[in-house]
Amino acid sequence: MADVEAMLAHWAERAGPHPDGAMLPPHHEQCLGCGPDNAHGHHLQVNRRGDGVAADHVFDDRHVGAPGVVHGGAVATVLDDLSGFLLYLVGTPAVTRQLTVDYLSPVLVGVTYRMEARVTSREDRKFFVAATLSDLDGCTVATSTAVFVTVGVEHFARHGAVSGGSPTPPVADDHRDSGREGAVGQQRG
Ligand SMILES: CCCCCCCC/C=C\CCCCCCCC(=O)SCCNC(=O)CCNC(=O)[C@H](O)C(C)(C)COP(=O)(O)OP(=O)(O)OC[C@H]1O[C@@H](n2cnc3c(N)ncnc32)[C@H](O)[C@@H]1OP(=O)(O)O
């Protein structure tokens, strides 16, 4: 189990507030979507844009499915991770409970895409997210909707580690959170 204090510090140094236009911090250094130190990662660089978040992204040969076409799992990864940056605007840690992706057109390797995500509604500990992936002509090639559930930092302490190393293996009968976890942050208007 990782240290709750370390998780709190990790969250506190990222929580913001972040002004409009600011580049947002990666979830952590090894994050598959945005971690700068993950050799297999997408290295997303995400900015706040108004009440939403945005990033430009180019998939490369590591992300291919059919020849020249980006693997659907890689598309889902970046849509999920971008959506996960909204927690900096919501003001509390959260995790994806459900992700639904619509693949509208093939996503191509080596092409610049523009991604955007925003919170569409909020209900108790859930927030609902919509995201788009479009080419620079404005043609949307993939969209996603997601349900995020806010969690306390204890969630990450219970299930993982702040940086590097191997996560703590889950205990067989403790794969889900036992109660409704409190959030550490406050919603920002
Ligand atoms: C890493 C370092 C951290 C450092 C410390 C802090 C810094 C944090 C910074 C950054 C972290 C974020 C990084 C983002 C990265 C990108 C996002 C990801 O990849 S996240 C990973 C994938 N996701 C999971 O691993 C969740 C796995 N799931 C769970 O752990 C549990 O399910 C959990 C905790 C989310 C909730 O568990 P329950 O048992 O309390 O609740 P239940 O039954 O699952 O349902 C939750 C609510 O969702 C509704 N729900 C479920 N599906 C729904 C749907 N399709 N539509 C509407 N509602 C739905 C349900 O009806 C329920 O709602 P009702 O609270 O009862 O009102």
Instruction: Write down the ipTM of this complex.
Output: 0.93
Whether 97 lines ligand 1, by a CB cut-off of 6 Å, is yes
Query: 3-class DSSP state for residue 37?
Result: coil
**What pLDDT score was predicted for residue 82?**
98
CA of 157 to the centre of ligand 1 (A): 15
- Structure confidence at residue 71 (pLDDT): 98
186 in contact with ligand 1, CB cutoff 6 A: no
Ligand 1 atom 61: residue of nearest CA: 126
CA-proximal residue: ligand 1, atom 56 (nearest): 147
C-alpha 93 to ligand 1 mean position (Å): 10
Can you tell me which atom of ligand 1 is nearest the CA of 162? 2
Query: Which long-range contacts link 174-183 to residues 24+ away (Cβ below 8 Å)?
Result: 177/151, 180/125, 181/150, 181/151, 181/152, 181/154, 181/155, 182/152, 183/92, 183/93, 183/94, 183/125, 183/150, 183/151, 183/152
pTM of the model: 0.89
Q: What is the pLDDT of residue 166?
A: 45
Does ligand 1 have an atom closer than 6 angstroms to the CB of 180?
yes
Got the DSSP string for 56-113?
Answer: EEE--GGGBSSTTBB-HHHHHHHHHHHHHTTHHHHTS-EEEEEEEEEE-S--BTT-EE
- Ligand 1 binding pocket includes 6 (Cβ within 6 Å): no
Q: Supply the pLDDT for residue 39.
A: 94
User: For the chain (length 189 residues), average pLDDT per consecutive 10?
Assistant: 80 90 96 96 98 98 96 98 97 96 98 98 97 98 98 86 48 44 45
Can you give the residue ranges of every domain in the chain?
A: 4-159
Q: What is the pLDDT of residue 9?
A: 87
| CATH of range 4-159; options 3.40.50.720, 3.10.129.10, 3.50.50.60, 3.40.190.10 | 3.10.129.10
pLDDT at 22: 97
pLDDT at residue number 40:
93
Please tell me the predicted confidence (pLDDT) of residue 2: 64
